[in-house]
Amino acid sequence: MKTAVEIKDLTKRYGDLTALDSISLTVNEGELFGIIGPDGAGKSTLYQILATLLNPNAGSASIFGLDTVKDYRTLRRMIGYMPEKFSLYQDLTVQENLRFFASLFGVSVKDNFNLIAPVFGQLEKFPNRKAGALSGGMKQKLALSCALIHRPSILLLDEPTTGVDAVSRSEFWDILHSLKESRMTILVSTSYMDEATLCDRIAMIDKGHILKTGRPDDLISSIGKNLWQSSAKEMFALLEEYRKMPEVIDCYTFGAYLHIVADDNFNSRIVKDKLSQTFKDFELSKATGTIEDLFIKLSRENHNVL
Ligand code: ADP
């Protein structure tokens, strides 16, 4: 398998703040690879380095063997970059934006239209609408079309689904899967943990550190089986009660429930008998782990280490 992206001990500092702390990562050609982490994790900094717009303080990053610092001129033609902040010209129409991005790379929209056709879809109906007047989902598709118009070898998509409605988010992931079928390498970042399972592999990142890398299913199964969900009328008091139990490793709010990570001494029958006497509407059952559970666990460990 050919390596598409090789990141070695990459560090980026802004003054006293270390945004990326000696991270290493490999992405294979044709992979749909997710960079998953909350705001401030360092995702955009990583993307700016990969897009050759920012130089690291230490370490290196290369794409298809080309160094992002030394070989930036060649690399810029090979990369399709969709930055986190909206990249389009709001006062230009759909068609004008596309033509502009094509002209930057000396290609014509017509020649490469077949590549963007699946993405462009509904936009074809509004060629003269200004980009600023498009819905969030349509803007996102136009931005992706503009990033693709020069037939890049790799797509760097920085939080493309942030602030976009759920239907457009799901359509966007369908598009990424169809692009992947054409062997395009895609590096996509997101702070939506549920999107992790849509990637081939992911790197979980927090405060400039990579917490874990792997296939989403493998990572989820590493959470283990002793995960429980519980609820009652008085949720906060219930949380405090669980946190007092020696067999409870961690307890945190998870949507409408509490999630409880327990050790082998946790006996659900005994806990149920005890807590249902104290708490109204008490419930306790096995929970299915998610990437978010793993993220909470790993980032707590990471914070303890730092
Ligand atoms: P993310 O994309 O995951 O939200 P960023 O890479 O934007 O993370 O930011 C990582 C950290 O670096 C944050 O603490 C952020 O405030 C800081 N940061 C980002 N860009 C700059 C900058 N140009 N100057 C100073 N600090 C910055």
Res 224: pLDDT: 78
User: What share of the chain in percent tops pLDDT 90?
Assistant: 79
Whether 14 is in the pocket of ligand 1, judged by its Cβ within 6 Å, is: yes
For all residues of the chain together, what is the average pLDDT? Answer: 93
**Ligand 1 lined by 39 (C-beta under 6 Å):** yes
Q: What pLDDT does 136 receive?
A: 86
Average pLDDT over residues 198-207: 97
- For residue 255, report the phi and psi dihedrals to the nearest 5 degrees: 60, -130
In this prediction, residue 239 has a pLDDT band, given cuts at 50, 70 and 90, of: very high
Strands 257-262 and 227-231: antiparallel
| Per-residue model confidence as pLDDT tens digits over 35-93 | 999 999 999 999 999 999 999 999 999 999 999 999 999 999 999 999 987 688 999 99
40 lines ligand 1 (CB under 6 A): yes
- pLDDT for the residue numbered 306: 52
- Residue 84 has a pLDDT of 83
Q: Which atom of ligand 1 has the smallest separation from the CA of 38?
A: 3
pLDDT band (50, 70, 90) for residue 99: very high
Check if 37 has its Cβ closer than 6 Å to any atom of ligand 1: yes
* Mean pLDDT for the stretch of residues 243-257: 95
Report the alpha-carbon distance of residue 161 to residue 166 in Å, rounded.
Answer: 9
Question: What are the tens digits of pLDDT across the range 101-145?
Answer: 999 999 999 888 888 888 887 788 889 999 999 988 889 999 999
Give the bridge partners for 250, in sequence order.
Answer: 261
Locate 280 and state its tokens. Answer: 């109204």
pLDDT for the residue 114: 85
Tokens for 75, please give them.
């690399």
223 within 8 A of 259, measured Cβ to Cβ: no
Verify whether ligand 1 is closer than 6 Å to residue 49 (CB atom): no
**Closest atom of ligand 1 to CA, residue 48:** 6
- Both tokens of 136, joined, read 């969030």
Structure confidence at residue 286 as a pLDDT band (50, 70, 90)? very high
Nearest CA to ligand 1 atom 16: 40
Q: Does residue 21's CB lie within 6 angstroms of at least one atom of ligand 1?
A: no
Q: How far is it, in rounded angstroms, from Cα 87 to Cα 89? A: 7
Q: Which two tokens stand for residue 73?
A: 């001129």
In whole angstroms, what is the distance from residue 4 CA to residue 105 CA? 21
Per-residue pLDDT of 151-171, as tens digits, reads 999 999 999 999 888 888 998
Residues 51, 81: Cα–Cα separation, whole Å:
7
Q: Kindly report the protein residue whose alpha carbon is nearest to atom 27 of ligand 1.
A: 14
Mutation test of ligand 1: which of 44, 53, 193 has the most ligand atoms closer than 8 Å to its C-beta? Answer: 44
Q: If you measure from the C-alpha of residue 16 to the centroid of ligand 1, how many angstroms do you get, rounded to a whole number? A: 12
Mean of the pLDDT values across residues 261-286?
96
> Does the structure show a pLDDT above 70 at 187?
yes
Q: Note the pLDDT of residue 144.
A: 92
Q: Is the CB of 41 within 6 Å of ligand 1?
A: yes
Q: Cβ distance 176 to 32 under 8 Å?
A: yes
